[in-house]
């Protein structure tokens, strides 16, 4: 059974007086999967205490000072699932590169080598025994007024990341892969920046 969540919806930026602690789960909703074409519509955040804070981003908006301050804060760890996309989307929108970061998809791929199923829904189901709905995934996030079902879906994408990190950290430690995972997390903001700068489909480490 999922915990009861309170959703707080803001326009354009986080409130000046909001504190989300030292570890914040973050996810984004966009109009599509191409950051150069498809605009950022919603950024959702969770401090791990059962509340979701959602920031609706206006079309053409290029500044969100409080959100960007959090993204760049070296004392705040940002949790993502497939952070490569979310970090790139926010960097493209605001010019703020999130760091330090942790990605549950990367952690899963490093330690759950017995499966090829590393999606968020699968991770939450397998590691936390919680079934989340993905019904709203393909909805119109650019709408002026978001529906309650959309906000609940968006919240579900960040609600469980703290618990997933705890589970995955234990598995990484057990398999002796904590250090290599951290090295990957440290590089992730640069990988996302490379995507935006035009190297999204190029393996710069390959011989050719």
Split at pLDDT 50, 70, 90, the class of 3 is low
Q: Greatest CA span in the chain, whole angstroms?
A: 52
Write the CA distances from 53 to 44, 46, 47, 131, 134, integer angstroms.
6, 6, 9, 21, 19
Q: List all residues 6 or more positions away from 115 whose beta carbon is below 8 Å from its beta carbon.
A: none
Q: What is the CA radius of gyration of the chain?
A: 16
For residue 1, is pLDDT > 50?
no
Task: Kindly list the structural domains of the chain, giving each domain's residue range(s) and its CATH number in brackets, ordered by start.
Answer: 6-13+20-198 (3.30.420.10)
Q: Is 24 helix (H, G, I), strand (E, B) or coil?
A: strand
Tell me the β-bridge partners of 10.
Answer: 55
Summarize pLDDT for 19-57 with one digit per residue, the tens: 999 999 999 999 999 999 999 999 999 999 989 999 999
Task: Please provide the distance, in angstroms rounded to a whole number, between the alpha carbons at the two ends of the chain.
Answer: 50
pLDDT digits (tens, 9 = 90+) for 130-164: 987 665 566 899 999 999 999 999 999 999 999 99
The pLDDT-based confidence of 208 (bands split at 50, 70, 90) is confident
Q: What is the pLDDT of residue 5?
A: 75
């Amino acid at each position: 059974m999922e915990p009861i969540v309170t959703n707080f919806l803001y326009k354009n930026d986080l409130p000046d007086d909001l504190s989300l602690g030292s570890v914040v789960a973050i996810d984004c909703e966009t109009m599509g999967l191409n950051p150069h074409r498809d605009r950022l519509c919603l950024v959702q955040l969770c401090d791990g205490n059962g509340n979701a804070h959602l920031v609706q981003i206006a079309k053409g908006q290029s500044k969100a000072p409080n959100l960007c301050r959090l993204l760049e804060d070296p004392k705040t760890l940002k949790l993502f699932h497939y952070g490569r996309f979310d970090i790139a989307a926010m960097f493209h929108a605001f010019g703020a590169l999130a760091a330090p970061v942790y990605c549950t998809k990367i952690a899963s791929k490093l330690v759950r080598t017995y499966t090829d199923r590393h999606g968020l829904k699968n991770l939450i189901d397998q590691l936390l025994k919680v079934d989340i709905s993905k019904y709203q995934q393909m909805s119109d996030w650019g709408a002026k007024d978001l529906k309650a079902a959309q906000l609940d879906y968006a919240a579900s994408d960040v609600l469980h990341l703290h618990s997933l990190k705890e589970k995955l950290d234990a598995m990484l430690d057990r398999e002796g892969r904590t250090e290599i995972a951290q090295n990957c997390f440290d590089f992730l903001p640069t990988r996302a920046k490379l995507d935006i700068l035009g190297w999204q489909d190029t393996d710069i480490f390959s011989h050719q």
